[in-house]
Amino acid sequence: MLVPDLPLRTERLVLRAFTATDLAVVRDYRGRPEVTRFLYQEPYDDETVRPAIDRMVRRTALRAPGDVLQLAVTLPDSGVVVGDVLLNWTSGEHRQGEIGYAAHPDHTGRGYVTEAARELLRLGFDGLGLHRIVGRLDARNTASARVLERLGMRREAHLRENEFVKGEWTDEWVYALLAREWRAAA
Ligand SMILES: CC(C)(COP(=O)(O)OP(=O)(O)OC[C@H]1O[C@@H](n2cnc3c(N)ncnc32)[C@H](O)[C@@H]1OP(=O)(O)O)[C@@H](O)C(=O)NCCC(=O)NCCS
Please report the pLDDT score of residue 73 as a whole number: 98
CB 153 within 8 A of CB 176: yes
Please report the pLDDT score of residue 186 as a whole number: 85
Q: Does 96 contact ligand 1 (Cβ within 6 A)?
A: no
Q: Does 48 contact ligand 1 (Cβ within 6 A)?
A: no
pTM of the model: 0.97
Please report the pLDDT score of residue 79 as a whole number: 97
CB 140 within 8 A of CB 158: no
Mark 71-96 as b/e (b = at least 16 C-beta within 10 Å): bbbbeeeeeebbbbbbbbbbeeeebb
Distances (CA, A) of 76 to 7, 53, 100, 153: 11, 22, 22, 28
> Which regions of the chain does DSSP assign to beta strands (E)?
8-9, 14-17, 68-74, 81-91, 96-103, 132-138, 154-165, 168-178
Instruction: Compute, in angstroms, the gap from residue 93 CA to the centroid of ligand 1.
Output: 32
- What domains are there in the chain, each with its CATH number? 8-185 (3.40.630.30)
- Residue among 43, 6, 13 nearest 26 (CA): 43
Instruction: Compute, in angstroms, the gap from residue 125 CA to the centroid of ligand 1.
Output: 22
Q: Does 10 contact ligand 1 (Cβ within 6 A)?
A: no
> Across-strand partners of 91?
96
Q: pLDDT averaged over consecutive 10-residue blocks of the chain (186 residues)?
A: 97 98 98 96 96 98 98 98 98 98 98 98 98 98 98 98 95 98 94
Q: Does 153 contact ligand 1 (Cβ within 6 A)?
A: no
Instruction: Compute, in angstroms, the gap from residue 103 CA to the centroid of ligand 1.
Output: 8
CA–CA gap between residue 50 and residue 28 (Å, rounded):
13
Q: Does 146 contact ligand 1 (Cβ within 6 A)?
A: yes
CB 176 within 8 A of CB 132: yes
| Length of the chain in terms of residues written | 186
CB 64 within 8 A of CB 91: no
